[in-house]
Amino acid sequence: MIDKIKSDIFNHFNKEVKIISKENRNRNEIFFGNIVEIYSHVFIVSNGIETKSYSYSDILARDVQITFL
């Protein structure tokens, strides 16, 4: 399952994504940006102003939701 997530992210390298991540107290953070770097356990999303990293296991655990735009 993680391999499918990694391949989907690799196929959308340098393309725009929408990330919804669960924060504390049932709050969600929405982040738009491009996938700029891919590593074995995490990937980096940047919008030019802010840079954030997310792990593949967070997507699998449904703590992070990614939408390819």
Could you give the number of structural domains in the chain? 1
pLDDT tens digits, one per residue of 22-39: 988 889 999 999 999 999
Q: Are 15 and 34 in contact (CB under 8 A)?
A: yes
pLDDT tens digits, one per residue of 36-50: 999 999 999 999 999
- pTM recorded for the entire structure: 0.87
Residue 44 is part of a domain; what is its CATH number?
A: 2.30.30.100
- Give me the chain's average pLDDT, please: 92
Residue range of the domain that includes 23: 2-68
3-state secondary structure of 9: helix
3-state secondary structure of 5: helix
Phi and psi at 56, nearest 5°, equal: -70, -35
Predicted local confidence at residue 14, as pLDDT: 93
Q: How far is it, in rounded angstroms, from Cα 53 to Cα 35?
A: 10
